[in-house]
């Protein structure tokens, strides 16, 4: 079961505040294409696609490729402008054996309850040699995360609830995967800290849902105070783990 339910409230908050654009998407496109050679006819699986923003980006970047979007939450599927989005999850992917060329998993790996089972299922649907690209925050690597700067309790939640890089690698190794790359990617998450504070929705962030109401309120005050004096865009650093 996922760490949070992703009901209609969560899905609405996610759609409103978590879609990236502009410089942020450009940074991730550059990182992805260091490990993936997009070509006509290839098929990319967006596993746990949420409200479909990455599927939309892939279709825009590589219109001659196919995108298979899969999401377990009905509320997320209903809000996705990208269609179709199929019901499914990491241990039960609605795809034939060896039918996808690459798998994209963005801020989802911490919601997967059985990583070895997911690795086996991904191995089943992925063509030999295809990459699994995992975009995530990982325990012990929180220095570039705005949430952890203003909500130190989120660090405890991250370290206690998210799988470590080594944990993911070990789980996928049981299905024959090895690590092909690992790198931090800096993204522009918001045009300013003020914008981030104004548009903050707790329901859109797993880490903020895992902390107490009092801790959340204290962090909001810290963020609002910093937003009054901080200029420039909000930069966050997440990691890209690539397995083959």
If pLDDT is split at 50, 70 and 90, which confidence band does 2 have? Answer: low
pLDDT, tens digit, 9 for 90 and up, residues 32-74: 999 999 999 999 999 999 999 999 999 999 999 999 999 999 9
CA distances from 132 to 76, 93, 118, 191 (A): 22, 14, 12, 30
Q: What are phi and psi of 12, to 5 degrees?
A: -65, -40
More confident residue, 201 or 11: 201
Average pLDDT over residues 106-132: 98
- In order, the DSSP letters of 12-76 are HHHHHH----THHHHHHHHHHTTT----TT-EEEEET-TTSHHHHHHHHH-TTSEEEEEES-HHH
CA distances from 221 to 18, 26, 224 (A): 21, 32, 5
Average pLDDT over residues 17-24: 81
The CA distance from 40 to 118, in Å, is 27
Inform me whether the pLDDT recorded for 129 exceeds 80: yes
Residue found by looking up tokens 């825009």 in the block: 60
Strand arrangement of the beta sheet that strand 132-136 belongs to? 85-87, 66-71, 43-47, 102-106, 132-136, 234-243, 179-190
The pTM assigned to this predicted structure is 0.95
If pLDDT is split at 50, 70 and 90, which confidence band does 18 have? Answer: confident
The CA distance from 161 to 139, in Å, is 9
Inform me whether the pLDDT recorded for 22 exceeds 80: no
Name beta bridge partners: 185.
238
More confident residue, 23 or 189: 189
Q: Please tell me the predicted confidence (pLDDT) of residue 5.
A: 72
The CA distance from 239 to 66, in Å, is 25
Residue found by looking up tokens 């929705």 in the block: 201
Structural contact between residues 241 and 137, judged by C-beta atoms closer than 8 angstroms: no
Structural contact between residues 218 and 150, judged by C-beta atoms closer than 8 angstroms: no
If pLDDT is split at 50, 70 and 90, which confidence band does 150 have? Answer: very high
The CA distance from 155 to 85, in Å, is 32
| Cα torsion 17, 22, 23, 25: sign | positive
Three-state secondary-structure class, residue 8: helix
Mean pLDDT of the chain: 95
């Amino acid at each position: 079961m996922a760490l949070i339910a992703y009901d209609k409230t969560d899905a609405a908050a996610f759609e409103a505040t978590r879609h990236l654009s502009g410089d942020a998407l450009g940074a991730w496109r550059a990182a992805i294409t260091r490990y993936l050679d997009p070509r006509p006819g290839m098929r990319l699986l967006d596993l746990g696609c949420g409200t479909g923003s990455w599927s939309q980006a892939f279709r825009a970047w590589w219109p001659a490729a196919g995108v298979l979007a899969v999401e377990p939450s009905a509320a997320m599927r209903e809000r996705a402008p990208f269609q179709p989005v199929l019901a499914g999850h990491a241990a039960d992917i609605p795809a034939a054996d060896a039918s996808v060329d690459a798998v994209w998993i963005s801020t989802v790996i911490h919601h997967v309850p059985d990583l070895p089972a997911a690795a086996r299922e991904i191995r089943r649907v992925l063509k030999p040699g295809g990459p699994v690209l995992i975009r995530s925050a990982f325990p012990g690597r929180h220095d570039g995360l705005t949430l952890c700067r203003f909500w130190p309790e989120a660090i405890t939640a991250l370290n206690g609830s998210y799988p470590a890089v080594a944990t993911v690698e070990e789980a996928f190794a049981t299905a024959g995967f090895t690590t092909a790359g690992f790198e931090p990617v800096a993204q522009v998450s918001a045009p300013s800290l003020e914008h981030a504070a104004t548009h903050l929705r707790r329901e859109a962030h797993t880490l903020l849902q895992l902390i107490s109401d009092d801790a959340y309120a204290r962090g909001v005050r810290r963020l609002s105070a910093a937003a009054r004096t901080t200029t420039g865009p909000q930069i966050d650093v997440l990691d890209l783990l690539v397995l083959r």
